[in-house]
Amino acid sequence: MTLSLEPIFHAAHLKLKPRTRVPQMHVRFFPFAGLTHTARYRDEQLWIRVSDLFVDAPEQVVHSLALILLGKIYRRKVDTTHHETYRSFILGNAMQERARHARSTRGRGPRPAVPKGRWQNLETNFERLNATYFGGKLERPRLTWSMKRSRRILGRYDATHHTVVISLLFDSPRVPDFVLDFVLYHELLHVKHPARAGNCRMVTHTPEFRAEEVRFERYKQATEWLRRI
């Protein structure tokens, strides 16, 4: 049965601001591409959209979400137990799978993968790393360069589209092969060791991930080189 959102948000508002008149609320489920929720206070009215992935969520989870959203609007502190209740629910396997499906079917598709840059070809690096560190058994993800020469995000793995994106910064003759290899190796480890839930948060660098990362042959040299960029 689909939850009725307005009574839950009404109760949350009374809890946060018990001596204040509850404004008119416009609360509805919305088909976001993932676990997104929005809340706005405009013209003395509340406009709230909750991800439709929550249509069958437990009422206590939605109550915690309501407190969190309204707490941000009114700058009120919300007890950590509500954050824990919300995070525990969204990090569950079932909800994570539903969120991945929503992102893949509702979100924009990935841009075309371009593994060959001006100076470097990511497919060449992948084949070398796959043979050396993965026994040739790792399925090749989509490999592509980023649009910009980012120094903040050196690489990332998009699990929804099974895509590894490497900063265009590394498509340069001045970058040693072992450095680009290490950056790509780090992202390939995300393919092999997916993020998992733990202690009400998503752990992206698991102990297994860290143990394999330091096995990179020139790990120390690569990390020192990257610190200088």
Q: pLDDT tens for residues 77-128? A: 999 999 999 999 999 989 999 998 998 888 887 788 999 999 999 999 999 9
Chain segment 2-25, per-residue pLDDT in tens: 679 999 999 999 999 999 999 999
- CATH number given to 5-106: 3.30.2010
pTM over 0.75: no
Does the pLDDT value for residue 1 go beyond 60?
A: no
What ranges do the domains of the chain cover? 5-106, 122-227
DSSP state of 135: T
Query: What is the third-level CATH fold of 122-227?
Result: Zincin-like (3.30.2010)
Closest by CA position to 197, among listed 86, 103, 41:
86
CA–CA distance, 148 with 228 (Å, rounded to integer) = 19
Helices assigned H by DSSP within 75-138: 80-90, 93-106, 122-133
The percent of residues above 70 in pLDDT, for the chain, comes to 98
> Is-same-fold flag (5-106; 122-227)?
yes
CA–CA distance, 86 with 111 (Å, rounded to integer) = 32
